[in-house]
């Protein structure tokens, strides 16, 4: 089962790692870091740990973990290019128009494409995320010593009203694995979008992942599992 202390720490480190990633992108354009170097230390946990430790005092405070958390933080940071973003050293430019209302020369201009771009999710990534959510339910039932039939687990895993709580819990579990340097790849991004994006397919404005929401989601899953469990003999 997910514990508050574990999730609270994981959520904090995730937020700091994301801020560091965005700071790194700004450092590209400033010439402070070259993308090729960033790719190396954002891909390999050991390299990331060495670079973050070396530059620790120069990193933005909001993107800097406690020194005792450096190793786990570096491992997590090293999963970003495997799970969430692609890094392009030469992204080029694209034509931009506010609200895409008009692309004439007077209403549009060229803007630089970001170095970091969210991965494009395919059917296999979404299928992997669904399998992980189903596996989380099964593991939770086992930890609670609840006997729930396979069809009942399948139904719960696919229930529309449990998409958000189940996605939250499964993503939180994945966060803990990523702190150990274990990445499931783009399926992690697919999990994120189950609760951080709207049903219409766009990011929720001002969304913030909170440990309290994860624990509340887990409590809801436990309640539903308990209601479906076969009585013990």
Look-up: residue for tokens 């783009």? 186
CA dihedral 78, 41, 209, 157 (to 10 degrees): -30
pLDDT of residue 183 exceeding 80, the answer is: yes
Sequence-distant (6+) residues with CB within 8 A of 222 are 140, 144
In angstroms, what is the C-alpha Rg of the chain?
A: 20
**Mean pLDDT, residues 90-117:** 51
pLDDT digits (tens, 9 = 90+) for 11-48: 999 999 988 888 877 765 554 444 555 555 555 556 67
The C-alpha atoms of residue 108 and residue 98 are separated, in whole angstroms, by 7
- Calculate the alpha carbon distances from 172 to 8, 62, 163, 189 in Å: 10, 21, 14, 12
pLDDT for residue 24? 75
Looking at 38-47, 104-113, 174-183, which range is the least confident one? 104-113
Neighbours of 84 (CB within 10 A): 19
The C-alpha atoms of residue 53 and residue 66 are separated, in whole angstroms, by 11
Sequence-distant (6+) residues with CB within 8 A of 122 are 186
Q: Which residue has the higher pLDDT, 50 or 179?
A: 179
Cβ–Cβ < 8 Å for 81, 43: yes
Across the chain, mean pLDDT equals 82
**Mean pLDDT, residues 164-181:** 95
The C-alpha atoms of residue 142 and residue 100 are separated, in whole angstroms, by 51
Provide the H-helix boundaries in 42-184: 45-54, 70-77, 80-83, 123-143, 150-158, 163-179
Q: Which residue has the higher pLDDT, 198 or 84?
A: 198
pLDDT for residue 5? 96
Cβ–Cβ < 8 Å for 11, 18: no
Domain boundaries, the chain: 4-89, 123-228
Q: Which residue has the higher pLDDT, 35 or 155?
A: 155
Q: How large is the greatest C-alpha to C-alpha distance in the chain, in angstroms?
A: 76
How much of the chain, in percent, has pLDDT values that exceed 90? 54
pLDDT for residue 118? 76
**Mean pLDDT, residues 143-152:** 94
The C-alpha atoms of residue 186 and residue 86 are separated, in whole angstroms, by 10
């Amino acid at each position: 089962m997910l514990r508050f202390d574990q999730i609270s720490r994981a959520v904090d480190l995730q937020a700091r790692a994301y801020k560091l990633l965005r700071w790194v992108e700004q450092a590209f354009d400033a010439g402070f870091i070259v993308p090729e170097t960033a790719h190396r230390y954002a891909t390999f946990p050991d390299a990331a740990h060495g670079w973050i430790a070396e530059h620790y005092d120069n990193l933005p405070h909001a993107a800097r973990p406690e020194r005792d958390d450096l190793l786990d933080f570096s491992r997590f940071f090293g999963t970003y290019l495997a799970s969430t973003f692609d890094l392009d050293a030469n992204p080029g430019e694209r034509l931009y128009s506010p609200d895409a209302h008009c692309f004439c020369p007077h209403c549009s201009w060229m803007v630089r494409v970001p170095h970091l771009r969210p991965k494009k999710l395919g059917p296999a990534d979404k299928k992997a995320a669904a399998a992980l959510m189903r596996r989380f339910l099964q593991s939770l039932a086992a930890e609670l010593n609840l006997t729930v039939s396979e069809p009942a687990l399948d139904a719960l895993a696919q229930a529309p009203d449990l998409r958000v709580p189940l996605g939250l819990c499964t993503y939180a579990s994945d966060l803990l694995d990523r702190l150990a340097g274990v990445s499931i790849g783009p399926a992690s991004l697919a999990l994120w979008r189950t609760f951080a994006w709207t049903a219409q397919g766009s990011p929720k404005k001002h969304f913030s992942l909170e440990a309290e929401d994860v624990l509340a989601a887990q409590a809801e899953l436990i309640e539903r599992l308990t209601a479906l469990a076969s009585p013990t003999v």
